[in-house]
Chain A
Amino acid sequence: DTEVTQTPKHLVMGMTNKKSLKCEQHMGHRAMYWYKQKAKKPPELMFVYSYEKLSINESVPSRFSPECPNSSLLNLHLHALQPEDSALYLCASSPEGQGRDEQYFGPGTRLTVT
């Protein structure tokens, strides 16, 4: 399996809702990432997990809460979002070490906050 998968593909939520995005990889990668991408912009790093521990939080608002239950799974819990949080949320993974740096992206979740 050489893919990163994400669910759901699309999500519409109100500002008072709580929802979660899910990401899964079975490539044995030990680093996993959450990115936010706005239209016509590059991906913007939000969080990095390395060996299931949070290694980077790029000053992301607390209404976004990441979780790494195991080495294959990554969640992003959403609560009290704002309309400006509407974007494509991408998950990625990389081998970490072993002389390999390639980072592979999932298909993303298109989030709309109403």
Chain B
Amino acid sequence: EADIYQTPRYLVIGTGKKITLECSQTMGHDKMYWYQQDPGMELHLIHYSYGVNSTEKGDLSSESTVSRIRTEHFPLTLESARPSHTSQYLCASSESSTIYGYTFGSGTRLTVV
């Protein structure tokens, strides 16, 4: 049923490693977003994109980067993982007008040890 896919679903990785979290959507949505959410806490926007070759930083200061080379693909990269990066990362997308709301992927639960 999901039209937006995130991989991996779970990841445990050592400090200092470089990781890329994948997000792909098949709906042709222009806008894509990355959120970070700790258990029981609110979503924090870390990056977003209005379309191909567009990327912007969100409200949460982050040591991650994103790219948007294709409409359907919006990967998030952490150059050097730290224990403070342990969290759930949620990818979302929306149509241009956003009046139909936002569709989320199932998330990647990252643990940095």
Same complex: no
**A-to-B contact residues, CB < 8 Å:** none
